[in-house]
Chains A and B, each alone.
Chain A
Amino acid sequence: MPEEINLETFNADPITEDVSDPAPQAAPGTAPQAAPEAAPQAQPKAAVETQQDLSAEIKAIGDTYAAALKNGKAPETQPRLDYAPYRSSILRHPTKSLHHADPETIELYSPAFGHQDVHALESDLTIQHNGEPQGERILVAGRVLDGDGRPVAGQLVEIWQANSSGRYIHKRDQHPAPLDPNFTGVGRCITGADGSYSFTTIKPGAYPWKNHLNAWRPAHIHFSLFGQEFTQRIVTQMYFPGDQLFPLDPIYQSIVDQDARDRLVASYDHDLTQPEWALGYKWDIVLTGSKRTWTENEAFGADGDE
């Protein structure tokens, strides 16, 4: 798949905006109920927002959450949809509560993926071109489980990432770090019967963006996952242990609970590391619990077309 990518086509969209939006305060049509949340971070448009400004906002939200926890509030496990330090979220989060629904019929099943869809070599991001990509070769492996601890077998995992310089191949990433002609940064695989997945890739670099002045994303790999039910669908990001940018990053910090944040950080695994070849990182992913009664075949992972 990756070698068939036509860069002219997928990069054809003009650069309409970068990863920052103009401050959307007092936007026409904004629901009145959005105003209380949007107000604290409203800035004069001319002001350059610094990391210090952002860190203060991040800290204020974190402190409020810590106090609530202390008072017996249940820990949060997902990012907040309304997290103003990530400026692009301000006009893009629902202001009404998500409506509880019991999943029905189609929602209790997942699209089926198999080896017609994904070639085994697509899990190696270092062999998609004629030469070897620059950077630190790594293995990223783990298991996909559902909330009941069952392996998610025969399902699709997709990843994408920046190269070792922190540059995405997408045209809208124009920061002055080199592209690598031998690295696209896209991979896929189908999980094994035990829910296992494995990718060979290059450790991505930190990535500068325009949320505020001197904003840098911690090194990360985007992951897209399917479960056995469509309700388990998730897109997320995997991070590397010990990154000094964690406390500064509004996207990582949009998950206000430290234990929950930690679930996005891979662990270095020397048993996975291969001598004179690549360092190994292990990351298990847990989807939400199953809502449907499973047949015996499903419970034993006999899905897919292998």
Chain B
Amino acid sequence: METSKNVSPTTKLTPTPGQTVGPFYGYALPYEKDRELLAPGSPGSIRLQGTVYDGAGHPIPDAILEIWQPDSEGNIVHRTGSLVRDGYTFTGFGRSSVGNSGVYTFTTVNPGPTRPGAAAFISVAVFARGLMNRLFTRVYLPENEEALAADPLLSSLDPERRHTLIARRDADGGLTWDIRLQGEGETVFLDFEGGPAFEGTAAGGAAE
């Protein structure tokens, strides 16, 4: 077994394709307290909310989001109990389907930086009817300008697209962050597989 040496990034098996989550996940994927990483109103809790929009600027009523984040100290926790929450354990994972107005809501904590001086962010996966495959993205905390400027991902983006990954701080201490799947202000979505072979196919593959 290859345990000590760094396994080459070359993928040996071809991954199974994704498919759309479809319209009927609503009786399967949501669960009790799915969007409450900790109890609303508990010390340190904040609301993360936003709206998911389509290319016409209309809210999408059938999208579902997942977040995965470190705790407020920047620790990546490895604790079970995301599906059956005990009310005390922070697991770092949450899931929120949007309502009819396209709005999602999480109760969570401000993630801490995972390295000293690093920009703090939450990892996000987006699913929707009409969206062929899940999309990955990130939402960054807005405060630490210096860290944001030094962030490898943010600094690699067009300046006019960079803001799509940075949340707005609300007066109540919460975060607002909208997702635009297409068009004006389109959110930056991420490809972790990289490599030229994925260019133009993972990106949505315009039929040539």
Of B43-51, B132-140, B141-149, the one touching chain A: B132-140
On whether the beta carbons of A94 and B135 are closer than 8 Å, the reply is yes
A113 to B77, alpha carbons, bound, how many Å? 12
Task: Find out whether the CB atom of A112 lies under 8 angstroms from the CB atom of B91.
Answer: yes
A11 to B93, CA, bound (A): 25
Q: Given the interface contacts A13-B61, A100-B194, A264-B17, does A235 sit within 8 Å of B136 by beta carbon?
A: no
A101-B190, A264-B16, A289-B9 as given contacts; A112 in contact with B129, CB under 8 Å: no
Residues B132 and A89 in contact, CB atoms below 8 Å apart: yes
Contacts of B129 in A (CB 8 A): 19, 88, 92
Contact B19 A92 (CB under 8 A): no
The residues of A that contact B191 with a CB separation of less than 8 Å are 97-101
Question: Which residue of B3, B122, B128, B183 contacts A95 across the interface (Cβ within 8 Å)?
Answer: B183
Known interface pairs A92-B182, A111-B92; A80-B204 also in contact (CB < 8 Å) = yes
Contact B55 A31 (CB under 8 A): yes
Q: Contacts of A288 on B, CB cut-off 8 Å?
A: 11, 15, 192-193
- Least CB distance, A54 to chain B, in whole angstroms: 14
Query: Is the C-beta of A50 less than 8 angstroms from some C-beta in chain B?
Result: no
Which of A17, A36, A235 is B206 in contact with, Cβ under 8 Å?
A36
Q: A167-206, CB under 8 A of B: which get 1 and which 0? A: 0111011000000000011101000000000000000000
Q: Is the CB of A160 within 8 A of B130?
A: no
The interface residues of chain B lying within 8 Å CB-to-CB of A255 are: 17
Find out whether the CB atom of A235 lies under 8 angstroms from the CB atom of B130: no
| Interface flags, A102-121, vs B, CB<8A=1, else 0 | 11111101111111111000
- Neighbour of B17 across the interface among A112, A113, A263, CB < 8 A: A263
Q: With A13-B100, A86-B132, A107-B123 as known contacts, state yes or no: A98 contacts B202, CB within 8 Å.
A: yes
Please tell me the number of chain B residues within 8 Å of chain A, measured between CB atoms: 101
A95 and B23 contact, CB distance less than 8 A: no
Q: Chain A's interface: helix, strand, loop or mixed, by majority?
A: loop
Residue in A closest to B93 when the chains form the complex, CB atoms: A111
Please encode chain A, from 255 to 290, with 1 for each CB lying within 8 Å of some chain B CB and 0 for all others: 110011101100000000000000000000111111
- Cα A252 to Cα B195 with chains together (Å): 25
Residues of B within 8 A of A53 (CB): none
Are A81 and B204 in contact, with the CB atoms below 8 A?
A: yes
Q: Which of B149-208 contact A (CB under 8 A)?
A: 152-153, 156-157, 161, 181-184, 186-194, 197-208
Set of chain A residues within 8 Å of B194, measured between Cβ atoms = 100-102
Does B60 reach chain A (CB closer than 8 Å)? Answer: yes
Q: Is B21 a contact partner of A222 (Cβ separation < 8 A)?
A: yes
| Least Cβ–Cβ distance between B109 and chain A, in angstroms | 13
Given A34-B183, A286-B13, also A92-B1 (CB < 8 A): no
Contact indicator A233/B83 (Cβ below 8 Å):
no
- For residue B105, CB closer than 8 A to chain A, the reply is no
By a CB distance below 8 angstroms, the chain B residues around A52 are: none
Check B16–A168 contact: CB distance below 8 A.
no
- Chain B residues with CB under 8 A of A103: 192
- Residues of B bordering A, CB below 8 Å: 1-4, 6-7, 9-31, 54-58, 60-61, 66, 68-70, 76, 78-84, 91-93, 99-100, 111, 114-115, 118, 121-123, 125, 127-136, 152-153, 156-157, 161, 181-184, 186-194, 197-208
| Chain A to chain B contacts (Cβ below 8 Å), 24 pairs | A28-B56, A34-B183, A64-B208, A88-B129, A89-B20, A98-B202, A99-B189, A101-B153, A101-B192, A104-B114, A106-B76, A106-B92, A106-B121, A107-B136, A111-B91, A149-B13, A160-B27, A184-B27, A222-B22, A234-B16, A251-B132, A288-B193, A294-B7, A299-B3
Given contacts A105-B118, A222-B28, 19 further A-B contacts (CB under 8 A): A5-B27, A13-B26, A31-B182, A77-B15, A80-B201, A90-B130, A92-B131, A93-B132, A94-B135, A95-B186, A99-B189, A109-B76, A112-B80, A116-B81, A146-B13, A168-B27, A230-B136, A285-B16, A288-B193
